[in-house]
């Protein structure tokens, strides 16, 4: 009976992993290609609402802060490209803008890392409380 329970839990865990990977891929595609900001969506406010909901769902399905980490990496890369292009044409203001974008991207990645660390700490605390509760129940035979 215990083996069946463990097998069932492993199957459920695998299914969740596949589902999360699929959602992660779709949200990354949407965020990366800017599909949500397509002309089919007329209002900027609607786009912002949909984008923030997609990011929240992405964070829920992966780990907290994952959307910020990805957006930060994209912003940092865009800043590096802008900086490189400005270096090529000797555009000082473009170089500064590129450096600023890189810094903003690094800060956004850092914010995502902090969110992820806080989420993991919360999970560890929750698991510790559950384990303690189970231990107390086992001790008293419940």
Domain extents in the chain: 1-64, 65-111
Position 16 pLDDT exceeds 80: no
The predicted structure's pLDDT at residue 47: 74
Q: Is the pLDDT of residue 96 over 70?
A: yes
Q: Give, as one character, the DSSP assignment of residue 32.
A: H
- The structure tokens listed for 142 are 């419940």
Cα–Cα dist 41/49, whole Å:
11
Residue range 23-73, pLDDT digits in tens: 666 666 666 655 445 454 455 677 777 777 877 777 777 777 788 888 888
Q: Which of 117, 115, 105 is nearest to 58 (CA)?
A: 115
CA distance 109 to 70: 7
CA distance 112 to 119: 11
User: Which tens digit of pLDDT belongs to each residue from 104-134?
Assistant: 988 988 888 888 888 888 888 988 888 888 8
State the pLDDT at residue 123. Answer: 84
Give the model's pLDDT for residue 5: 47
């Amino acid at each position: 009976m215990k083996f069946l329970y463990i097998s069932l839990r492993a199957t459920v865990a695998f299914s969740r992993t596949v589902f999360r990977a699929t959602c992660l891929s779709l949200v990354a595609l949407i965020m990366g290609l800017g599909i949500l900001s397509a002309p089919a969506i007329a209002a900027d406010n609607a786009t912002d609402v949909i984008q923030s909901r997609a990011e929240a769902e992405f964070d829920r399905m992966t780990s907290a802060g994952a959307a910020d980490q990805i957006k930060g990496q994209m912003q940092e890369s865009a800043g590096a490209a802008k900086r490189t292009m400005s270096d090529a044409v000797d555009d000082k203001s473009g170089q500064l803008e590129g450096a600023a974008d890189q810094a903003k991207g690094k800060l956004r990645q850092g914010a995502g890392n902090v969110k992820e660390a806080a989420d993991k700490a919360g999970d560890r605390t929750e698991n510790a409380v559950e384990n303690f509760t189970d231990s107390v129940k086992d001790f008293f035979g419940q």
